[in-house]
Structure 1
Amino acid sequence: MWHLNDLADRAELIITELIANASRHTPCPQIRLVVGRPSATRVRVGIVDEEPSRLPVLSHAGEEDESGRGLLLISAVADRWGCDLQSSGGRLRGKEVWAELGTEGAE
Structure 2
Amino acid sequence: ELSIGDYVLSGGEPAALVIIDAVGRLVPGVLGSAKSTDTESFSDAHRLEYPHYTRPEVFRGLRVPPILLSGNHAEIERWRHEQARERTRLRRPDLLVRRSDLGGEDEDE
TM bucket by the smaller chain?
Answer: under 0.3
Radius of gyration: which is bigger?
Answer: 2
Q: TM-score, normalised by structure 1?
A: 0.25
Higher RCO (Cα < 8 Å, 6 or more apart) = 1
Q: TM-score, normalised by structure 2?
A: 0.25
Write 1 or 2 for the structure with the bigger share of helix. 2
Write 1 or 2 for the structure with the bigger share of strand. 1
